[in-house]
Structure 1
Amino acid sequence: MAIESEHRVSDSPHVALVWRGRASGTGTMTSVATSTWELVFWEDGGAVRAAVRGPETAASTVELAGDSESLGIIFAHGTVLSPLPRLVDSAAESPHVTERTFALGGREWEIPDFDSAEDLVVRLAREGMISRDPLVDEVVWGGIARVGTRSVQRRVATATGLTQGAIRQIERAREAAVLLGEGLAPLDVVHRLGYYDQPHLSRSLRRFIGRTATELQQADGSMSLLYKTEPPAGP
């Protein structure tokens, strides 16, 4: 089985990344934990499908069969799709999809391509389908909120379905996986990212990434998208 993917950073305040991928052959893929929402389009048996996926709090295994292409819009922390409940470890699939359109919130929307993803997000925001709480993205990256702790906890949970601590654990594990894939030694990752020790790092990798440090350093490619986590650009 072969998996190819690419991604780009977005300049939209609602979007973190846009990605596209292609898979061929049969086998399994490790879907790593993620703390963000995602709108994804893919082919399945020649039919186009679309779904909104919520955060995933643990790694899982996905079966792949045949050739397929996919496109995803990864939303920034704090971006909310208003028609949907907070989805955690679950997804809401579009009830009607054609080669060109998909249904969301009782309306039809044009499926974007890799370069026009932000155009769809702009239309969704204009029609009140998307909103954003900038405080959430700020505090996730260590910013100081101008409201009380309880207000922060409530707003983070409302926007993401997760606690602030859970988001940070997931993002730290993802960053650790990226660094190990780039060749950094496990002990150096421990020190850089603030793990207690190597066993603490190992437990985090098993839970959120589904791989050991050695497996990540081998970089076999049968994993969902991993990317460097960086704070949003300032105004």
Structure 2
Amino acid sequence: MPIESSHRASDSPYIARVWQGRTSGFEQMTSIATSNWELVFWEDGGVIRAAVRGPETSASIAEVVGDSRSVGITFAHGASMPHLPIGELVDGDVESPHVSGRSFVLRGEEWEIPHFDNAEQFVERLVRAGVLVRDPLVDEIVWGGIAKVGTRSVQRRVAAATGLTRGAIRQIERAREAAVLLGEGVSPLDVVHRLGFYDQPHLARALQRFIGRTATQLGAHDEAADPLSLLYKPEGPGRT
């Protein structure tokens, strides 16, 4: 298969998703918007690379050269690395300055490269070392929880932990959920009603901006279009 991928949920409050993938034969793919940042490891021409990738606020085209394997940890809203201000990573990334076949450098320290099955153990080590921290209020608020602090405080904390506003996060997540539903065969009109879009043109604009697809393309599983990056139903705290 030209592109293969798998992903799983996690019981860690720091992790939204763990994924792995393999590409072959594609020259480009559509990278859909995401409100989460992630730590990614991939092989490029036989060389292992590692990077922290920030949230992506719109769909874009990503080049894929030859065969490539990758593993990623997508972090939950509220998890952050204090030494890497997330606001500076939105629509961007920072590569590790040194990566060997088994380790990489993060915050000036060497760490063993994690695998698909041991991401939680790796993240626990980051937390114990103070590399990764978490503001639990942020994840709750993003998914509709009630804040016990003022609105301005909430805005500051969400922006500090995610690099985005709460409104931007919800727009991205709603578009992603709409894409999943359309791919499952739900009609555009039903998606509009389920997810609170104003009307079908509103849905169409969101899909084009955040997913890079039309409702028709998603519903028909358009094989002529470039493959999409990882797409799954958004999951908040306590959701399965």
| TM-score, structure 1 normalization | 0.97
TM-superposed CA distance for 1:119, in Å, is 1.0
Is 1:102 the counterpart of 2:135 in the alignment?
no
CA contact (8 A) 1:174 1:226 kept: yes
Q: Distance in 1 between the 2:218 and 2:26 partners?
A: 21
Is 1:232 the counterpart of 2:237 in the alignment?
yes
TM-superposed CA distance for 1:129, in Å, is 0.2
TM-superposed CA distance for 1:82, in Å, is 1.9
- Listed as ranges, the matches of 1:137-148 within 5 Å are 137-148=139-150
Q: Distance in 1 between the 2:84 and 2:230 partners?
A: 24
Identity %: 70
Which residue type is aligned with residue 47 of structure 1?
A: V
Which residue type is aligned with residue 60 of structure 2?
A: S
Q: Distance in 1 between the 2:58 and 2:83 partners?
A: 25
* Residues matched between the structures, number: 234
Q: Distance in 1 between the 2:28 and 2:69 partners?
A: 16
TM-superposed CA distance for 1:26, in Å, is 2.9
CA contact (8 A) 1:2 1:222 kept: no
Q: Distance in 2 between the 1:93 and 1:65 partners?
A: 18
- Structure 2 regions of 5+ residues with no counterpart? none
> Greater CA deviation, 126-135 or 20-29?
20-29
Aligned to 1:215: 217
- Listed as ranges, the matches of 1:73-222 within 5 Å are 73-86=73-86, 87-219=89-221, 220=223, 222=227
TM-superposed CA distance for 1:64, in Å, is 1.0
Which residue type is aligned with residue 44 of structure 1?
A: D
Q: Distance in 2 between the 1:122 and 1:167 partners?
A: 26
Q: Distance in 2 between the 1:93 and 1:2 partners?
A: 26
Q: Distance in 1 between the 2:213 and 2:24 partners?
A: 22
Coordinate RMSD, CA, aligned: 1.1
Is 1:18 the counterpart of 2:18 in the alignment?
yes
Which residue type is aligned with residue 32 of structure 1?
A: I
Q: Distance in 2 between the 1:215 and 1:65 partners?
A: 25
Is 1:54 the counterpart of 2:59 in the alignment?
no
CA contact (8 A) 1:80 1:132 kept: yes
TM-superposed CA distance for 1:69, in Å, is 0.5
SS at match of 1:51: strand
- Structure 1 regions of 5+ residues with no counterpart? none
TM-superposed CA distance for 1:63, in Å, is 1.2
Aligned to 1:65: 65
Q: Distance in 2 between the 1:172 and 1:4 partners?
A: 25
Q: Distance in 2 between the 1:62 and 1:231 partners?
A: 27
Q: Distance in 2 between the 1:26 and 1:13 partners?
A: 34
**Against the structure 1 CA distance between its residues 85 and 132, is the aligned structure 2 distance closer, same or farther, given a 3 Å change threshold?**
same
TM-superposed CA distance for 1:27, in Å, is 2.0
Which residue type is aligned with residue 22 of structure 1?
A: R
| TM-score, structure 2 normalization | 0.95
Q: Distance in 1 between the 2:26 and 2:20 partners?
A: 19
Runs of 4 or more above 4 Å deviation: none
TM-superposed CA distance for 1:229, in Å, is 0.8
